[in-house]
Amino acid sequence: MSEMKEMLLEVVEKMLKDKVEKEDVDVLEQGQWGEDLWRLLEENGMINIAVPEDQDGAGGDKEDLFAVYQLIGKYAAPIPFVEHTLANVLLNEVGEVAQQTLTTLHIASNVEATLPFVPWARHAEQVVVVTPEKLIVYPLADARVKETTNIASEPRDTVEVTAAPAIEVTLDNATYKQLMKLITAATLIKTSGAIDKAFDLTVRFSKEREQFGRPIHRFQLVQQHLALMAGEQAIMNVAAENILATLEALETNDIGYARLRLEDANRVIAASAHQVHAAIGVTDEHSLNQYTRRIWSWRDELVKADYWKKELVQEVLASTTDIWTALTASKQTQNV
């Protein structure tokens, strides 16, 4: 962690508080995006937090950048901040220079000319494509883009690539797995921010909403939902903190187990939040659904749970110890 982290988070959160209200997130429903917010972050150097100084960046580390991802999720910022900055992290990981123009990210099983569900492609100038064998950067200036969205109305476009790669790097298996860990970390951390906000909205609503002459948070059933949500929020916050603390190494597959645990957290948080809010939570007038729709959408994008199920099963099968030791060996305290 660099010394600039706390100051950085304070500055970014102030910007997001000032610039992102429910109405600003709603612009995505009309096919717009937070271009003013993007320019503000760009002008203040936030887009280049983790870019090395010799590449005209701020020279921060991954922990600085990924901590900001939690704020992006917490405020549902309608900009491709995570995609652009994460793409540059991946480029630096394979020895390439970070891109200064807006860049997005896509994962594919092999190299293809048609790329489905590319985040923010309509606004990007290039896309970083990661496959098990290669990392490729395609220019998008002449690409054919069919505009579609996920259920949170965030751009997820189909791109037909027409230009030759600007960058093409061959990946070994270890490097590919490292990139998958970084992408998974970004998804988990930004989702934890959305989980925080969904929980906060639900607690606030339960205190303000009254039935039968008292706030609904005093009813046992509502308390049960809040207790379940509090547990899941705490688990994902600890997972996010642990991932942030180990980003520079990522030597174990702990992040994979955290990603699988996120599946349960997503389900409980979204279901309980909407149970407490009832019908109002899905209306345009209320902001809860802006966060639960993101929780659901991000769950099914980029590195999915199935990837980690296969990786973790292979890890256990390859181990020479029993399954319990394989799962807990790195957590054991020696010589107590």
User: Is residue 82 within 8 Å of residue 69, measured between CB atoms?
Assistant: yes
Residue range 52-65: average pLDDT? 84
Residues 18 and 8: their CA atoms lie apart, in Å, by 16
Beta-sheet strands, E only, within 147-260: 156-160, 167-170, 210-211, 214-215
Provide the percentage of residues in the chain whose pLDDT is more than 90: 70
Give the residue, 3 or 173, on which the prediction is more confident. 173
Residues 139 and 296: their CA atoms lie apart, in Å, by 30
The string of pLDDT tens digits covering residues 228-279 is: 999 999 999 999 998 988 887 766 678 899 999 999 999 999 999 999 999 9
Question: Closest Cα partner for 298 from 170, 186, 158?
Answer: 186
Residue 181 phi, psi (nearest 5): -65, -45
Q: Per CATH, is 174-319 categorized as 3.40.50.150? A: no
- CB-based contacts of 95, cutoff 8 Å, min separation 6: 169
Residues in the chain, how many?
336
Residue range 113-122: average pLDDT? 95
The confidence score (pLDDT) of residue 198 equals: 98
For residue 287, pLDDT over 80 is answered with: yes
The confidence score (pLDDT) of residue 336 equals: 46
- Overall CATH class of domain 1-79: mainly alpha
Q: Does 1-79 match 82-171 in CATH topology?
A: no
Q: What is the mean pLDDT of the chain?
A: 91
The string of pLDDT tens digits covering residues 123-145 is: 999 999 999 999 999 999 999 99
User: Is residue 263 within 8 Å of residue 163, measured between CB atoms?
Assistant: no
Give the residue, 121 or 56, on which the prediction is more confident. 121
The confidence score (pLDDT) of residue 331 equals: 63
At residue 144's C-alpha, the angle toward residues 138 and 147, to 5°, is: 105
Domain 82-171 sits in CATH at: 2.40.110
The string of pLDDT tens digits covering residues 90-106 is: 999 999 999 999 999 99
Provide the percentage of residues in the chain whose pLDDT is more than 70: 95
Residues 255 and 100: their CA atoms lie apart, in Å, by 29
**How would residue 212 be classed by pLDDT, with cut points 50, 70 and 90?**
confident
Buried b vs exposed e over 17-48: b needs ≥16 C-beta within 10 Å?
A: eebbeeebbeebeeeebbeebbebbbeeebbb
Domain boundaries in the chain? 1-79, 82-171, 174-319
